[in-house]
Structure 1
Amino acid sequence: MSQKLIAIDLDGTTLNSQSLISSRTAEVLGKAIKAGHYVSIATGRPFRMSEQFYRQLKLDTPMVNFNGALVHKPYQKWEFERELSIEKDIAFEILAQKEKLNLDFVAAENRETFFINDLNDFEGHFFATDKVTEANLFSNLTTNPTSLLIKTQHQFSAQVSDALSKQFENKIDVRTWGGPNAILEIVPKGVQKAMSVSVIADSLQIDQKDVIAFGDEHNDLELLDYAGWGVAMSNGIEQLKGIANDITNKTNDEDGLANYLEKYLAL
């Protein structure tokens, strides 16, 4: 079998509902790497909230963060690296509508820094850090962020997404995170995972037909469409299943990705 690039989403796909990678999933991904394939994470999460999984899987491949706004090779200089950003004024304009849109918090970040509107809204476990001081407040945001993260309630999610997409129509795209929280991510217009995974494939000289991708949510649509073989999780959204080449038999809580990959690659 030719060498494959396996692009894996995290929330709702590689991670179970406790936001962990099971030992079985880690073992199968390890076997795929030993068999000569590449495993690359492609997530909406920032690097600091996905770094632990990169380390757990002992990866040295490039990865995609912020739904494609950042493609980089962690801990190394990499000639194909790129990071795109949003005008910071957009962050302040969204923050001004926090009450109107029923937002719990607004956070802005790039690879190194992040800012949140109010320290009372801060959930340390969610942001994978406890180092938060006045320095992280929005008033200190002086550069253009790579991504904005907003949290709302599930019942408002679609409405918030529509309102912001209309208001800033040619500047941003609004993406949904998988997982238990109603998290919307705002990225520069036209940014999506497939664009950045194709950069990784080119850098590794892997043909598009040899890219296998796994996902569960709206932010995986372009990725599964781009991949030579796109696999939707059985717990994924219907729209994604509609464009996928195949669907796992089991959910992210039953090692659906691992079981599928083991059979598909005959590991």
Structure 2
Amino acid sequence: MNSIFITDLDHTFLRSDLSISPFSEHIWNAKVAKNILTVATARSFKKSEQFLANLQINAPMILLDGALIVSQKRQIIQSLCIDKALGDAVIDMGAALQSFPFVLARQGTALDEVFLYPAQRNAYQDKLLQRYRGDDHLQEETDIRARAANFKLVYMGEEAMLQELQKHLYGTFGDALKYILAPEAYMGCFFLTLLHPHADKAHGLQCVSEYLERDLSEMTVFGDNLNDLGMFAKAGTSVAVSNAHETLKARADIVLNHSNDEDGVARYLEAQGV
């Protein structure tokens, strides 16, 4: 029976300059002929399509940290969102601490998203926006508010500040949200991502398992950061790239000798045979 491989993108399959090497591209497309390959990423559908333009995908993609599951035929399998009332309440609480989030919301269909960013930003947010310059789904908001359906709200800043914010949010909203606090190596800061309580990669993996009618034990997953922990716990085999967070390495079945910039995932796939 064919094998199932699911990889994170940033700092795992993508190189640090957000490119995919010719070697990784070749190995992926050779492997996909006889196996199942897809991604589990914090990235949106649009951005993932751009990164994966030259790769063949033959299984559902886990997107937006699990808030959106989309088949290889662009059909929506699952969409989990934060509603406007809850989103606005979160924004109001953050504003009291002078912190304002990015809001990635549904616009029209679930495959058409808008990236809202606040007029009041910190240096980390400005730096991230420079990487998105030219994207047509960016929209600045003088008074940022949630939309009717929000895939996720994302705060950026120093770890201590975001820990305080998370404490306040959890004290008010409890398990009505999923909270992911993780380092962001590109920016040298931390992200606090807020999602629907079932929108994470672990639930996404379960959804893909049911869609494919294959057991979780048959899946091999690759990752680098704390938002991959749930996926690592569920999959049959978990593989961390050499540049992964130490906590994730400790939970991995396999730690690679190569990083994302050294084609770690592709080297592993090549070693499994085609």
TM-score for both structures, normalised by structure 2: 0.83
Q: How far did residue 228 of structure 1 move?
A: 0.8
CA distance in 1, matches of 2:273, 2:72: 29
CA distance in 2, matches of 1:86, 1:197: 20
1:160 matched residue in structure 2: 165
CA distance in 2, matches of 1:204, 1:109: 28
Q: How far did residue 202 of structure 1 move?
A: 2.6
2:211 matched residue in structure 1: 203
2:135 matched residue in structure 1: 129
1:14 matched residue in structure 2: 13
Residue pairs, 1:75-154, within 5 angstroms: 75-77=73-75, 81-98=77-94, 100-101=96-97, 103=99, 105-110=101-106, 111=110, 112-119=112-119, 121=121, 123=129, 125-126=131-132, 129-133=135-139, 138-139=144-145, 141-154=146-159
Higher strand share: 2
Alignment RMSD: 2.7
Unaligned runs of 5+ in 1: none
1:70 equivalent among 68, 71, 78: 68
CA distance in 2, matches of 1:52, 1:246: 29
Q: How far did residue 100 of structure 1 move?
A: 4.9
Identify the range of structure 1 (15-24 vs 174-183) with the bigger mean alpha-carbon deviation.
174-183
CA distance in 1, matches of 2:172, 2:153: 15
SS at 2:32's partner residue?
A: helix
Residue identity (%): 24
Q: Deviations over 1:61-111 (max 9, x none)?
A: 310112111111255336xx1111113233223333445546364324134
Contact 2:28 2:266 in 1 (8 A): yes
Identify the range of structure 1 (52-61 vs 129-138) with the bigger mean alpha-carbon deviation.
129-138
SS at 1:160's partner residue?
A: helix
1:256 equivalent to 2:264? Answer: yes
Q: Which amino acid aligns with 1:262?
A: E
Q: Deviations over 1:218-267 (max 9, x none)?
A: 1111111111111112111222122211111111111111112211x123
Identify the range of structure 1 (191-200 vs 95-104) with the bigger mean alpha-carbon deviation.
95-104
CA distance in 1, matches of 2:28, 2:142: 36
Residue correspondences, number: 261
Residue pairs, 1:153-192, within 5 angstroms: 153-154=158-159, 156-175=161-180, 176=182, 178-181=184-187, 182-192=190-200
SS at 1:146's partner residue?
A: strand
CA distance in 1, matches of 2:54, 2:169: 36
CA distance in 1, matches of 2:13, 2:144: 32
CA distance in 2, matches of 1:56, 1:136: 38
Unaligned runs of 5+ in 2: none
Contact 1:116 1:136 in 2 (8 A): no
Identify the range of structure 1 (68-77 vs 101-110) with the bigger mean alpha-carbon deviation.
101-110
Contact 2:116 2:138 in 1 (8 A): no
SS at 1:202's partner residue?
A: helix
1:216 equivalent among 213, 216, 224: 224
1:52 matched residue in structure 2: 50
Cα gap change, 1:237 to 1:159, in 2 (>3 Å)? farther
